[in-house]
Chain A
Amino acid sequence: MRQSDRDAVEDPRREGEGPFAPAPTGRPVLVVDNVFKAYGPIPVLDGVSLSVGKGAIHGLLGKNGAGKSTLSNVVAGFTRADAGDVLLDGEDVSSLTLTARKKRGLHLLSQHSEIFEDLSIGENLLLPNLPRRHGLVDWAALHRQAGLLLESHAMHASSRRRAGDLNASDRRRLAIIRAVAGDTKLIILDEPTAGLAARERQHLMEWIEALTARGTSFVYISHHNDEVRQLCSEYTVLRDGKVAASGGAGSLSADGMARLITGSDVKEFRRVGAAAPKPPVVQIAGLCFPGGGPIDLTIGRGEIVGLVGLLGEGPQELLRALGGLLPATCGQVLVDGRPARIGSPAHSLDTGIAYLTHDRIGEGHVASMSIAENLSLGNWPRQAGWAISRSGMLDRVRRARAAMDVVMDGPDQEIRRLSGGNQQKILLGRLLERTPAILLLDEPTIGVDVAAKEHIHRLIDDATKRGVAVLLIAQDPDEMQRLVDRVIVFSKGRIERSLSAEGLTVDAIADAKSLREKP
């Protein structure tokens, strides 16, 4: 018999007792005991305990800022906890260094898969212990060993290939095999499926599951609740640095899980699109760019058009070309009937085309600058022509705060201190301050918690009510289905077909994607 998740909420420290004994076989591989960690006055981990059974996949859930990353850093040894212990196979590793913990078989794989792109797959697998003969690298032995490793982990690639040429999911596999290769006890996977297409996600998940047969345990961090429900045998939900619930994963419904994560009911936003035909705002005529074209597309006032296609097959490239981040080699773009200059982001923004990147850290915010400055970046409110108007910046922060419910200490706080969802709201706010004719949204809710995701959906919908047109890319077919008025399917850089109102089901969108995934 299992306890309902409601009981789990009320008594967060139930793990390890009765029906919640988390280790299916013998004693747990990992025990985290009452860990505290604070940055400044704010506690990030406030007495967190959990245990992971041998051969188990332990789902770690929580909003951004709930403490998942800090907890994995404490476990892996990137940071020391202020109090509390980390036990690996019964041994207290709390005071050991990162390297020492790795030697004992404890690994953390972050979202940015850690591979050496310019080295071969074989070198990637065997570093830092390359086989040697007479002090020099023994290449024959290296590729023999690496080949065996690849084979035994069901990864089909030559060990001589350059690792950087692998696709996204094989990179993740490579990183995981690298970690599993030694005498590995536990691997923490931080969003291993981020950025992968649905079918690839599924394959990767099945592959990970197969690895547990060798007795390796996993801590699996994901924003995709369905992944956790499918893959994990046990789970822990963190909220505000505390364990909100834990137990066997089978007992949880999707709703229950979302409720545990946010601490309140999240109502999914569903857009009600206007049926009436819309006057065109943006007309794209014969537009070519590296990786695609020519593209003809007209987007109407207040319309949300979803773009579907594999990575590198056109959708992202179209958005980047329109946003001025890729050169347009032929064709033209009309905004409100006037030809638009799209040679650089500055030009695109000036003509009312606003692009929101999927790469928040690399291309979105300037981490060392304040919230107020990031909100006004490239569009400074000026006084006397040259100086930045402080009051103008503060006005914008006030507006963003009111409209978007951004949680912050103040306008001068560094933006990197905010959660992913709040950072994303600031970036969206920066674009909205320019009152664009069209928003180009490339994964607007990537790495964002459930509550912020719904909020961002609502903000996008609100913008369309003011007449803003939207081109949207979203990995999640469900998210896309709830937002868009029609969908354009890309194949090999060209528009292949479109799905309009009646054909717009989640399955149809998912199918449109998976069709493209066949070789």
Chain B
Amino acid sequence: MNGRKFLLDNVVWILIIVFSLLAGVLNPFFLSEGNLQNVLVQATTLGVLVLAVSFTLLIGEIDLSVVGNLVFSGMIGAYAMQEYGAHWTVAVAVTVLTGTLIGAVNGYFVSYMRMNSLIATLAMGLFLQGAVLGATQARTLVIADEGYAYIGSATIGTWPIMPVALFVIYLAAHVVLAYSAWGRNLYATGGNRRAAHAAGINVRRARLGAFAASGFLAGLAGFLYASYLGGVSVTVGSTTLLYAVAAPVIGGVSLLGGRGRVLGMLGGTLLITVIQTGLQLINVSAYYIQMIGGAMILLAIAVDAFRVRGEEQGSV
């Protein structure tokens, strides 16, 4: 029974191993050091977005504006350097601050004005992406500043340093969510909002805080992405948002709020990245990659539903 529970809780890591071995058999390059670097670099931006969405899932809401937030705050940072000659450190601060403010606005909408988070953040995301489209006329903003681009391009030996950012951010998120009063208040609010309120937790502030944190992380992702690409482009893959929502669920974060571990979020991110790169390397036609990705997500979530069903027998 406990063995079964352990297996189900860690199904994402098992899937990563199984899929990696499979891809490795079909194309040995998949298991090379070079591809491992590639996977980790690819996982960095997605991973930070996954965290952003997860913070809102933990309180039983959702933030669909993270991709729009990413490009918009990235653009603001780029403009700060191009138009105002800001130092790259200032530009990074401006990027992250923009993201946080957007998140706080989302939080105000949802927490204080009681707007539905699914629709409000969807609209916010459309608005932001549209704003970037209009402001840039769909042109890519090139970032030439070496300081700004450092984290996205520097290497130590042959190893890129970008994944270091991923692990540092995840470690910080783990500490905050597992050990801080602020983090536990999020879990309590997501687990039972009325009970959290009655226990004296400021539920509105906690909910606003979750969205602000989501915005902060989306801004951070905006910086990392711009740093990696050496510019800001409005054409972030259209599937990125889907993956950013699917990865936490694959990693065991409950859509109903109150449940989810940071390690699971990381697992979800890595599984999706491994599938994407793996399919490319084994020469699956690009036209099928999206389909297979969707099927894998369905499978992982089916396992999740199975796990939940085991806990809550009799529910419809």
Contacts and interface: CB of A to CB of B under 8 A. Distances in A.
A255 B161 CA distance: 74
B198 A366 contact: no
A357 B182 contact: no
A387 B181 contact: yes
A380 B186 CA distance: 13
A73 B1 CA distance: 21
A386 B313 CA distance: 38
A78 B314 contact: yes
B313 A78 contact: yes
Interface in B179-225: 179-182, 184, 187-188, 191-192, 194-202
Interface string A354-367: 01010000111111
A387 B179 contact: yes
A350 B200 CA distance: 9
Contacts of A387: 179-181
Nearest to B181: A380
Interface string A59-75: 00000000000000100
A106 to B, nearest CB: 15
A41 B2 CA distance: 10
B202 to A, nearest CB: 6
B261 interface: no
- Taking residues whose C-beta sits less than 8 angstroms from the other chain, chain A's interface range is 20 to 34
A346 interface: yes
Contacts of A369: 187-188, 191, 258
A379 interface: yes
Contacts of B174: none
Contacts of B258: 366, 368-369
Interface residue SS majority, chain B: helix
B279 to A, nearest CB: 35
A346 B201 contact: yes
A377 B313 contact: no
Contacts of A357: 198
Given A367-B191, A382-B181, A323 B198 contact: yes
A78 B199 CA distance: 33
B55 to A, nearest CB: 17
Interface residue SS majority, chain A: loop
B259 interface: yes
A325 interface: yes
A378 B196 CA distance: 7
Interface in A361-415: 362-369, 373, 377-380, 382, 386-388
Contacts of A40: 1-2
Interface residues of B, number: 24
A388 B184 contact: yes
Given A73-B314, A369-B187, A364 B180 contact: no
Given A380-B181, A386-B181, A387-B181, A345 B191 contact: no
Q: Which of B1, B179, B197, B199 has the most CB of A within 10 A?
A: B199
Contacts of A349: 200
A37 B257 CA distance: 30
B180 A430 contact: no
B309 to A, nearest CB: 12
Contacts of A365: 192, 195
A364 B198 contact: yes
B316 to A, nearest CB: 9
Contacts of B181: 380, 382, 386-388
Contacts of B2: 40
Q: Which of A78, A355, A388 has the most CB of B within 10 A?
A: A388
A344 B199 CA distance: 10
A168 to B, nearest CB: 20
Given A40-B1, A377-B201, A379-B200, A364 B195 contact: yes
Given A78-B314, A366-B258, A373-B184, A378 B191 contact: no
Contacts of A113: none
Contacts of A363: 192, 194-195, 198
B200 A366 contact: no
Contacts of A325: 197-198
A323 B201 CA distance: 13
A28 B195 CA distance: 44
A435 interface: no
Given A377-B201, A378-B196, A79 B182 contact: no
A351 to B, nearest CB: 11
Contacts of B192: 362-363, 365-368
Contacts of A367: 191-192
A98 B184 CA distance: 38
Contact of B194 (A78, A323, A362, A373): A362
A380 B184 contact: yes
A363 B193 CA distance: 8
A369 B258 CA distance: 8
B254 to A, nearest CB: 8
Nearest to B176: A386
Contacts of B191: 366-369
A73 to B, nearest CB: 6
A354 to B, nearest CB: 9
Given A346-B201, A386-B182, A366 B196 contact: yes
Interface of A: 40-41, 73, 78-79, 98, 323, 325, 344-346, 349-350, 355, 357, 362-369, 373, 377-380, 382, 386-388, 430
* Closest 4 pairs between A and B when the two form their complex, measured CB to CB: A378-B199, A78-B314, A378-B200, A366-B191
25 contacts: A40-B1, A79-B313, A323-B198, A325-B197, A344-B197, A345-B199, A355-B198, A362-B194, A362-B195, A363-B198, A364-B195, A366-B191, A367-B191, A367-B192, A368-B258, A369-B187, A369-B191, A377-B199, A378-B188, A378-B201, A380-B181, A386-B181, A386-B182, A387-B180, A387-B181
